[in-house]
């Protein structure tokens, strides 16, 4: 029976997301043009292509962010069910955090965090 709430929740969120996009998709005028699709550079023609070799630091930062973002996402359900998870739940969460802390320290020592 209580699955109805989950269905309602999923339905509402889908409605808001798809409804917003769909409504504006139907109603908003859509006139793509050559200049309109050109990349915006403060009113100037962009110089040179964007397909270049750039610094690897961007990728490293992106990766680290992804890892710790997902970690935060996992912590949310644990925090909700914190009270009835009892002591075992707490220890498991700490172990999970510890593993990620080790990863962070490793990245720190390998100076992946310093921006070159």
Partner 1 sequence: MTVRVRTLDDICKPPVGAESSLDTQEYLVNMGPQHPIAHGSLRLILRLDGETVKEVTPAPGYVHRGIEKMCESLNYRQIIHLTDRMDYLSALMNNWLVSKTVEKAAGIAVNPRIETIRTLMAELQRLQSHVLWWGVLGMDLGAFTPFLYGFREREIIGALFEETIGARLTMNYIQPGGLMYDIHADFARKVKEVLAYLKPILVEYDTLLSGNVILQERLRNIGILDPKKAVALGCTGPVLRGSGVPYDLRKLEPYGVYDQAEFDVVVGTRGDCWDRYYVRIEEMRQSIRIIEQLVDNIPEGPYMVTKFAAKIKLPEGIYYGHIETARGVLGVTIVSDGKSDIPYRMHFRSPNFNNLWAVTALAPGWRIADLIAIQSSLDLVIPDIDR
Partner 2 sequence: MGLVTDRLPRVVENIPGGSILITSLDAFINWARRNSLWPLAFGTKCCAIEMLMATGAPHQDLSRFGAEVARQSPRQADFMVVAGAIVKKMAPRLRMLYEQMAEPRYVIATGSCAISGGPFMYNSYTIVRGVDEVVPVDVYVPGCPPRPEAFFWGLMTLQRMIREGESIARPNIRRKPVMAALPQGIKPEDFREEVRRLLEAENEVNVDEAAASKIWLEKVDQWMAKHLIKP
Interacting residues with partner 1 (CB under 8 A): 41-44, 46-50, 52-55, 57-58, 115-116
**Residue 48 binding target from partner 1, partner 2, none, CB below 5 to 8 Å by type:** partner 1
Q: Does 83 bind partner 2 (CB under 8 A)?
A: no
CB closer to partner 2, 29 vs 62: 29
φ/ψ (deg, to 5) at 49 = -75, 170
Which residues are CB-neighbours of 71 under 8 A, at least 6 positions away?
Answer: 96, 97, 100
Q: Which residues contact 45 (CB under 8 A, 6 or more apart)?
A: 38
Asked if residue 28 binds partner 2 (CB under 8 A), the reply is: yes
């Amino acid at each position: 029976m209580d699955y109805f709430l989950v269905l309602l929740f999923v339905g509402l969120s889908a409605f808001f997301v798809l409804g917003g996009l769909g409504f504006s998709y139907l109603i908003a005028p859509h006139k793509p043009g050559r200049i309109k699709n050109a990349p915006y550079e403060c009113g100037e023609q962009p110089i040179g292509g964007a397909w270049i070799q750039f610094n690897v630091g961007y990728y490293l930062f992106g990766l680290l962010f992804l890892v710790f973002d997902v970690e935060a996402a996992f912590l949310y359900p644990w925090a909700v069910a914190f009270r009835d998870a009892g002591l075992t739940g707490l220890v498991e969460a700490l172990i999970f955090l510890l593993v990620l802390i080790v990863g962070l320290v490793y990245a720190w020592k390998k100076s992946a965090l310093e921006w070159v």
